Amino acid sequence: MYNSIQDTLIIGKKVIYLPTCHSTNDIAAEIVHAGLFDEGTIVITDNQVKGRGQRGTEWVANPGQNLTFSVILTPGFLPVGDQFLLSQAVALGIRAYAARYVSDSKVKWPNDVQVNGKKVCGVLIENSIQGSRISSSVIGIGVNVNQTVFSNGYATSIGKETGRQFVLGEEFHKLLRRLDAFYADLKSKTLHERIRADYLTNLYGYGHPVRFKHKNRVLEGTVSHVTQQGRLVMQLLSEGGTLEVGLKEIEWLRD
């Protein structure tokens, strides 16, 4: 069902398909530990029973209706201090894929993707560091494609937003091509500032006010910028000034 793809530079030339597994990230990490992989190898499943999301959450997806997979990369060209660039490039690739079908597609810091204001994709990146470089990255991606019923009212799918049913194998290849293109840009150091600029332009809250909770206080602001290390800087509207936060320090509030 999920075949390898030959018209990319790196990502997707080897695909490992498992009908069911506990976590594609865990399987990919085992492959990396054994040293038995080529860069760009994909581990994909129809039924992930213990998928993991950001902040220790669980990623739940109906079997056979969505894309749940992990990509193995070796971005040794990236210094540890620039590792958030990988997160930005991956998020932009997924957003570009989603934008083929839904014009209102945004990245929600740090690397979720949403369409029409609802979450359509989650990303979990687990880096292994060696010295001052990233020796390997396992990037877990879950994209809601055909699922239409969600227990979380904030979640949606490409199919639900467009009223269409998609062939998962075809969408898998379309998404890999986008990811491969953005990874190629990442490998070109001359394009790093463009990646940062594109990320900011497509970021939820950039140029329009959003509400969020910080230390039990509800605040309103706009995204000012994102630091090189991936910390978010908000321009506060209610009381002036700026607020710089890291992962787990704020909770987005629904409009």
| β 217-226/112-115 pair status | unpaired
- Per-residue pLDDT, 237: 95
What pLDDT does residue 235 have? Answer: 97
Rounded Cα distance between 139 and 121, Å, is 13
The pLDDT of 83-88, averaged and rounded, is 97
Please tell me whether the overall predicted TM-score, pTM, comes out greater than 0.85 for this model: yes
Token pair belonging to 116: 């029409």
Task: Say if residue 57's pLDDT is above 60.
Answer: no
- Classify burial at 35, counting beta carbons within 10 Å of its beta carbon; exposed 0-12, middle 13-18, buried 19 or more: exposed
Helices (H), the chain: 24-34, 84-98, 158-162, 168-187, 192-201
Structural domains in the chain, sorted by start: 15-201 (3.30.930.10), 210-252 (2.30.30)
With beta carbons less than 8 A apart as the criterion, state whether 185 and 195 touch: yes
Q: What is the mean pLDDT of the chain?
A: 94
- Read off the pLDDT of residues 113-141 as tens digits, 9 standing for 90 and up: 999 999 999 999 999 999 999 999 999 99
Greatest C-alpha distance within the chain: 54
